[in-house]
Amino acid sequence: MNKKKIIIMSVCIIGIILGTYIKVKYSPIGFRSSEYVAFLCDDGVHLEYYRGEDKDVVIPNYIGFFPVTEIGENCFELNDSIETVVIPGNVKKIGESAFEGCIKLKSVKAENVKSVDYLAFNDDWNLEIVELGDNLQTIGVWAFNRCHSLTYIPSKQSLKEIGDYAFQECEIEDPGDLTGIIVGDDVFKNSPWSRSSHNLDSVISNNYEEENSTE
């Protein structure tokens, strides 16, 4: 292949990539892979629906040339097969109800998740292992509601906010130090920890001190 043809092919490839980027910036492109229905968005691939039947799921870091950045709303909702999930480093967000009602789900291990949205793991009764990496900032409202096997708050290193009822009816006995974290209403309602007024007062104190330090 001569130099001229190489240049022409390179220009064509660059043009295709730029054209795709411009298109998805204004209108995501839907597509299907062997296991997912997904959308190509300006920040990467958002997984919308899992089509597989594996009990041990490994989320892809890329689909084609594009990074997978989000597990979208309802992607695995009510899946009755999945038991473990491994989430790679490109995934930054777990969307609303993404794993809601996965009653056999026991373990979620991720590298770089920054936000867990509303109801993301709601009613996952058997979920006991949750590792989301060192960059988690937000746990949404009802995110781990009724995860009856969960005994701790995952990935607190960079955590900034825990939404209302996020760990309601979990088996958390001691959430540890929550200083500097914005804690919503009834976060630990109906958990062993919520029945200890001493622990509850300590969290309220931490948040009161943090709020007043900014005034």
In tens, the pLDDT along 63-89 reads: 998 999 999 999 999 999 999 999 999
How much of the chain exceeds pLDDT 90, in percent?
Answer: 68
Mean pLDDT, to the nearest integer, of 136-147? 98
Residue 159 lies in a domain: yes
Q: What is the mean pLDDT of residues 13-24?
A: 49
Looking at the structure of the chain, the number of domains it has is: 1
Evaluate whether residue 83 is within a structural domain.
Answer: yes
- Burial code (b: 16+ CB inside 10 Å, e: under 16) for 68-77 equals bbbbbbbbbb
Task: Report the C-alpha gap between 77 and 163 in whole angstroms.
Answer: 20
| Strand 84-87 relative to strand 56-58, pairing | parallel
For residue 50, being part of any structural domain is answered with: no
CA distance 209 to 190: 26
Domain with residue 102: its CATH number is 3.80.10.10
Has residue 8 been placed in a domain? no
Centre a 10 Å sphere on the Cβ of residue 5 and count the other Cβ atoms it contains: 9
Do 132 and 151 contact (CB within 8 A), yes or no?
A: no
- For residue 103, the model assigns a pLDDT of 96
Lowest mean pLDDT among 18-22, 54-58, 69-73, 191-195: 18-22
In a domain, residue 185? The reply is yes
Q: Which domain holds residue 86?
A: 72-212
pTM of structure:
0.82
| Residue 187: inside a domain | yes
Please check whether residue 149 lies inside any domain of the structure: yes
* 104-123 pLDDT, tens digit each: 999 999 999 999 999 999 99
pLDDT, residue 23, reads: 47
Q: Average pLDDT, whole number, for the chain?
A: 86
Q: Does residue 61 form part of some domain?
A: no
